[in-house]
Chains A and B, each alone.
Chain A
């Protein structure tokens, strides 16, 4: 591309743009420079952060899988059917994106807590208690993270050309085959981007999780919660835990950037 002239921008635009970059870069630099690297060895051997890391990775992956299983059909219904009250449904399904996470946690407690609308029924009839279990961690993550997948995929499906699906049907493909071989491949960029955004939001979830799932070591204490608690007693340790999460997230983004998340890196598939 070196032979094409780049579109120019007014020079003054560079100043706020540089401030924007600084806003994102400085906290990471701060983490790296403040980290008590000498404590790293003791952190690695400590089982508490390790179990928090395992819990975070496992729950966020389970959340992503469930989000795909529920979110893809939901996006299809929202984008492709004449659902009555579609606007209202879409608003309800994406409300949690704009809610403070702690409010999401309170809402989940009111629905699924032991005194909650549904939670009481589950408790009375099935002896099932959701809050303060790993299942609650996953539900909290789903509630706040799945809308990223639904919104990304819904808009991609809505703008996707329908003609290839029609041609596939004339060629003899039944609806499931059209979905699997035409529709989903045509939105694979959005599907990948939506899944990664959902996963990233899930593994970083804190407010809804601590409200709804609590803070039981090894059961519901995820890495963000562990970090928050460390900050109260041992700030150096909190910095190291934070760096660990920066590393995990960065590694995933870099590993996936070409194949699955073209939308995140500006590349076309």
Chain B
């Protein structure tokens, strides 16, 4: 069954205007900056918020249609919803939490518990069945919440930032669990995240929501190859420079970049450069690179095996170096620096 969402809705600072489809068994990841409307979109799909103008349908079931006034109640939509925080019912143990859905939908007590146990076994959390929510860790509670969503045999799965409340070490395990959960169900899945790794590992496709609009929809590979907005580029760790292309030169007005060979027409274009492809130097480098410019270091983020250096003028660029590479150059925040990149490392797409 395919989920079709075609709605426009006023959400305060801007307008939510979305047209998307998610196929049977497909996982669509929605990414976007804060206040882009991701949560509003989810809540409209689930039925917790009004959906405004337009239509939401799952297969032949119409959940919302402003033309006919149809609007299915939340409890009748059968959405397996995993909120950002697990939100287990505090006065019930884990098994009773998972059994709550089947019980609410008319299954008997014993049957509900059997369904719940089955869902917990699928996600390998059955050992938590007798535990009270306040004795569970954040990750355990999240797993139980996912089992609870699965136990209603959902026709749609919706997960809101499933890894954001977990520490980094616990995230890979949660991603694996979400893969198991979505594979266990034929339902389309919609997953909201801030995390690029979530997006790339969980999403069959990624939809980018910015200021209420979808700015790009595609596979992770497609987005990385040709990010269409600075947000996408930043999320995927790619430099994106918008400008006007003339032959092999892209001009932003303040900055000119020589790009690699291409077959696109002159006019508005987007150049992308990987942060690893850029070199930094203390003084003006000699030799062949076609692109050399002087800049200033605005910030340095030190990771375990990589240092991310941010330059602002005359163009916003991030550069990834090894820690050894950074100390060999010997620059710090606020220092002047020379940057260079080979033209063949700059790919260009029409914008």
The yes or no answer to B83 lying at the interface (CB within 8 A) is yes
Interface pair B79/A168, CB less than 8 Å apart? no
The yes or no answer to B169 lying at the interface (CB within 8 A) is no
Q: Please list the residues of chain B having a beta carbon within 8 angstroms of any beta carbon in chain A.
A: 46, 48, 73-81, 83, 85, 87, 89-91, 100-101, 104-105, 148, 152
Interface pair A164/B87, CB less than 8 Å apart? yes
Choose one: B76, B81, B91, B105; the contact of A167 (CB below 8 Å). Answer: B81
Interface residues of A: mostly helix, strand, loop or mixed? helix
The yes or no answer to A182 lying at the interface (CB within 8 A) is yes
A168 to B87, CA, bound (A): 10
A163, closest chain B residue (CB): B87
The yes or no answer to A174 lying at the interface (CB within 8 A) is yes
Interface pair B91/A168, CB less than 8 Å apart? no
Interface pair A172/B75, CB less than 8 Å apart? yes
Choose one: A163, A174, A181, A182; the contact of B75 (CB below 8 Å). Answer: A174
Interface pair A172/B90, CB less than 8 Å apart? no
Interface pair B87/A169, CB less than 8 Å apart? no
Size class of the contact patch on chain A: 10 to 19
Interface pair A168/B100, CB less than 8 Å apart? yes
A188 to B90, CA, bound (A): 12
Q: Cβ of A167: which chain B residues have Cβ within 8 Å of it?
A: 81, 83, 87
Interface pair B46/A170, CB less than 8 Å apart? yes
Interface pair B91/A185, CB less than 8 Å apart? yes
Contact with B along A243-254 (1 / 0, CB 8 A): 000000000000
Q: How far is the CB of B49 from chain A (nearest CB, A)?
A: 10
The yes or no answer to A115 lying at the interface (CB within 8 A) is no
Q: Cβ of B91: which chain A residues have Cβ within 8 Å of it?
A: 185-186, 188
Q: How far is the CB of B62 from chain A (nearest CB, A)?
A: 18
Enumerate A155-175 residues with CB–CB distance to B below 8 Å.
161, 163-164, 166-174
Q: A163-B83, A166-B48, A167-B83 are in contact. Are A172 and B78 (CB under 8 A)?
A: yes
Q: Cβ of A188: which chain B residues have Cβ within 8 Å of it?
A: 91
Q: A177-B104, A186-B90 are in contact. Are A171 and B148 (CB under 8 A)?
A: yes
Choose one: B48, B89, B101; the contact of A172 (CB below 8 Å). Answer: B101
Q: Cβ of A173: which chain B residues have Cβ within 8 Å of it?
A: 75, 100, 104
Enumerate A134-170 residues with CB–CB distance to B below 8 Å.
161, 163-164, 166-170
